Amino acid sequence: MIGALAFAACEPRALSPDAGSGSTGTGGMYICAHGPTITSCSPSAGVPVTSEPPSHGSPCIVEGARCEGTRCYDARGEGPFVITCCGGQWLWDYDRACPTAPQPGDPFVCGPDLDCAAYQTYCSVSNADDRTNWRTSCQPLCAAADCTCFCDNPEACEFQAPGSDCPGDRCTCSTLAALPAGAGVIQVQCDYVVHDNGACTPNESLDGQCAGLKAIVCEGPAFDRTGGGCIQLPDLATNASCGTEVHEYCCPN
């Protein structure tokens, strides 16, 4: 909401821990001389109502509204930022005109020398063929043209790799288009367990067993991860379908 923009703001991921507490650099870390601020908005932002910045992608209602200000960039010191209301979302550091939403059939980059068609095909990234190389291709997209073609969230979600019972074989769907959310430009990446690499992948379907922790599936022998706050889950019968040893754990976020 544009009425909420005349506030002291700083993108959380850009702040140093000491932002706002001093005015000089120490040990190579710049300490902001003052809290980050918005210096101007168009149209006018009105009366300040919050001290928290909107997150990238959060809702906005005045198309094209822009605010400028300064924020801390850690060792690089303070610098300017811009936030723009585009297609109903706040976009950080978007200092150009808002892009238009992709139209059906518009090309979008999927991989080197490969474009897929918005609303018609999705960008598929998978190592299903040989487990060592990820290959890209364009695959037909269902009429919904968002991630509900694959799972339960239009913008992003995770699901079991098709044709596999191995809990380590997981796919993620995400929208690649900045505007509007979930519109027609979709990537699905399927990561199949690679033998002898010890890698861990999230598995949201097991989160219900983790009492507030997050479930991961790790390739290789069982490993005591209690030092990291993890608890090993009982092995699933479907692990036999992985073709290698895998184990499940509940771990902090």
Q: Assess whether 164 and 205 both reside in one domain.
A: no
Taking only the tens place, the pLDDT of each residue in 98-134 is: 777 788 999 988 988 899 999 999 999 999 887 778 8
- Say what the pLDDT of residue 73 is: 62
- Say what the pLDDT of residue 138 is: 96
Question: Rounded CA gap, 172 and 186, in Å?
Answer: 10
For residues 206 and 230, the answer to whether their CB atoms sit within 8 Å is: no
- Say what the pLDDT of residue 31 is: 54
Q: Assess whether 151 and 76 both reside in one domain.
A: no
Number of domains in the chain: 3
- Say what the pLDDT of residue 177 is: 64
Is there a domain that residue 98 lies in? no
Q: Assess whether 21 and 76 both reside in one domain.
A: yes
Q: What is the mean pLDDT of residues 158-167?
A: 92
Q: Assess whether 187 and 204 both reside in one domain.
A: no
| Whole-prediction pTM | 0.62
Chain centroid to Cα 132, Å, comes to 24
Domain C-terminal end among 154, 172, 191: 191
Is there a domain that residue 100 lies in? no
- Say what the pLDDT of residue 7 is: 32
Domain with 223, as residue range(s), is 200-251
- Say what the pLDDT of residue 44 is: 58
Is there a domain that residue 73 lies in? yes
- Say what the pLDDT of residue 12 is: 31
Is there a domain that residue 101 lies in? no
Residue 14 has pLDDT above 50, yes or no: no
Is there a domain that residue 222 lies in? yes
Q: Assess whether 184 and 115 both reside in one domain.
A: yes
Q: Assess whether 33 and 50 both reside in one domain.
A: yes
Taking only the tens place, the pLDDT of each residue in 52-107 is: 456 667 777 777 888 777 777 655 567 777 888 887 777 777 666 777 778 899 99
Is there a domain that residue 102 lies in? no
Residue with tokens 């910045």: 53
78-86 and 37-42 as β-strands: parallel, antiparallel, unpaired? unpaired
